[in-house]
Amino acid sequence: MKKSSGIKSLFFLVLVMTFSSMLLTMVAETTKDIRNNHDKIELARKICISADLKDMSSEKELLNFFSKGKIIESKDFKIIDFRDESFSAVVFSGSGLWDQIYTVICVRPGLIKNVFLCDKLLGLQIIQQKETPGLGGRIEEKWFTDQFSGFSLKKGNPQIVIGRSKKTEMEIDGITGASMTCKFLQESLSNCIASLKKKYPSGMAQ
């Protein structure tokens, strides 16, 4: 008697579990494409802003544009190469003050046949950040990210400086009151460029 009730409970449990995982799989499958597309569109939009491609506006155009990119995944970064537009986008993340900061940079000329050339930074956009709102959160603002567009990487990496008017061409004007966030952003950018150099040594030496 007791044993049969145990088997019955177990059977019931298995039934509930199967039913719920089936329901979930169904919902997951039906929404899969939409969910994936959202991420792609979001990324494509950021890439277009940082590479200054103004003609992309509708979601369809963005998706179409993104599908042309060739994706190369690596441990520290993800390269999306757009040969038609002759630039590469590099997605990377680094620790911020509170959480990871996800950033995308567009570099020209980019990846050409296993050689990565990064001479010029077309632009930088923040994909996701959870910095202090109103202080570090301002790294998303246009005036800050605009400073990176057209930056020449030939001489070295950009230095984010706070508190004095911009002096050399290597320096980017930082955000007052958000020195930590600026430091973290600069660090993750330098790390990304360093690991790019490590992976494609021949290309960067030029």
Partner 1 sequence: MKKNKYWETFRFGLIDENPIFKMILGICSALAVTNSVINTLTMTLAVIFVTATSSALISLIRDWIPKKVRMVVYVTIIATFVMVVDLLLKAMFPDISKALGPYVGLIITNCIIMGRAEAFASNNKVILSIIDGAGVAIGYGIILIFISVIRELLGFGTLLGYLIIPVQVPRMMIMIMAPGAFFTLGIVVWIARYWMYHRVSVNVDEVGREK
Partner 2 sequence: MSDFSDFLKITFAAVFTGNIALTYFLGMCPFIAMSKSPATAFGMGAAVVFVMTVTCCINWIIYWQILVPTGTEHLQLLCFIASIAVIVQILELFIDRVSPVLYAAMGIFLPLITVNCAILGASLFMVLRKYSFLNTLGYGFGSGMGWAIALLAMSGVRSRINTSKLPPGLEGPAITMITAGIMAMAFTGLAGVM
By CB under 8 A, name the binding residues for partner 2: 17, 20-21, 24-25, 27-28, 95, 97-100, 180
Choose the stretch contacting partner 1; rule: CB under 8 A; options: 5-13, 57-65, 155-163, 192-200.
5-13
Burial profile 43-58: b = 16 or more Cβ within 10 angstroms, e = fewer: bbbbbbbbbebeebee
- Site size toward partner 1, by CB under 8 A: 25
Site membership for partner 1, residue 38 (CB under 8 A): yes
71 binds partner 1 (CB under 8 A): no
Minimum separation from the CB atom of position 85 to partner 1 (A) = 25
**Could you give the string, one character per residue 85-124, with x where binding to partner 1 holds by CB under 8 A and - elsewhere?**
----------------------------------------
Query: CA dist 111 to 18, 80, 115, 119, Å?
Result: 47, 9, 6, 11
Determine contact, residues 54/45, Cβ cutoff 8 Å: no
Q: Is 40 or 78 the residue whose CB approaches partner 2 more closely?
A: 78
From the list partner 1, partner 2, none, pick the one residue 100 interacts with, judged by a Cβ distance below 5 to 8 Å according to partner type: partner 2
Angle (CA) 84-88-92 rounded to 5° is 150
| Whether 107 contacts 200, CB under 8 Å | no
For the bound state, the minimum distance from the C-beta of residue 21 to partner 1, rounded and expressed in Å, comes to 8
- Scored b (16 or more CB within 10 A) or e, 113-143 reads eeebbbebbbbbbbbebebeeebbbbbeeee
Question: Where along the sequence are the contacts to partner 1 (CB under 8 A)?
Answer: 5-6, 8-10, 12-13, 16-17, 20, 23-24, 27-28, 31, 34-35, 38-39, 42, 128, 132-135
